[in-house]
């Protein structure tokens, strides 16, 4: 009975809102590009793992220490959250 009470004490609400992927592309007007002999051009911005809103005290609320085992799901082993990446791109068609 005491062991069950201690385990319940460490249970925490891990609800969260995460913006995981964002992709923005801007196509330049072909009229402007004809002057410099380019058919098409576009700029792109891709970002992943942008932000997380949560009251969870751990590093990442989306934990699953051992997804194949029914006994260890949701166990937070202080694993680092996914890294944030930002990629800029330029696409030219000559």
pLDDT score of 61: 84
Per-residue pLDDT of the chain (94 residues; tens, 9 = 90+): 555 555 666 778 888 999 999 999 999 998 888 888 889 999 999 999 999 999 988 888 887 655 566 666 667 777 788 899 999 999 999 8
Domain edges within the chain? 16-54+82-94
**50 close to 19: Cβ distance less than 8 angstroms:** yes
Q: 78 in the Ramachandran plot: left (φ > 0), alpha (ψ -120 to 50) or beta?
A: left
Q: Report how far residue 77's alpha carbon sits from residue 11's, in angstroms, rounded to the nearest whole number.
A: 14
pLDDT score of 85: 97
Q: Report how far residue 87's alpha carbon sits from residue 39's, in angstroms, rounded to the nearest whole number.
A: 24
């Amino acid at each position: 009975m005491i062991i069950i009470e201690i385990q319940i004490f460490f249970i925490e609400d891990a609800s969260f809102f995460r913006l995981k992927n964002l992709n923005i592309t801007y196509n330049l007007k072909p009229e402007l590009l004809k002057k410099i002999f380019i058919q098409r051009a576009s700029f792109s911005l891709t970002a992943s793992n942008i932000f997380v809103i949560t009251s969870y005290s751990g590093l990442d609320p989306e934990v699953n220490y051992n997804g194949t085992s029914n006994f260890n799901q949701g166990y937070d082993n202080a694993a680092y959250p996914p890294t944030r990446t930002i990629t800029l791109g330029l696409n030219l068609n000559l």
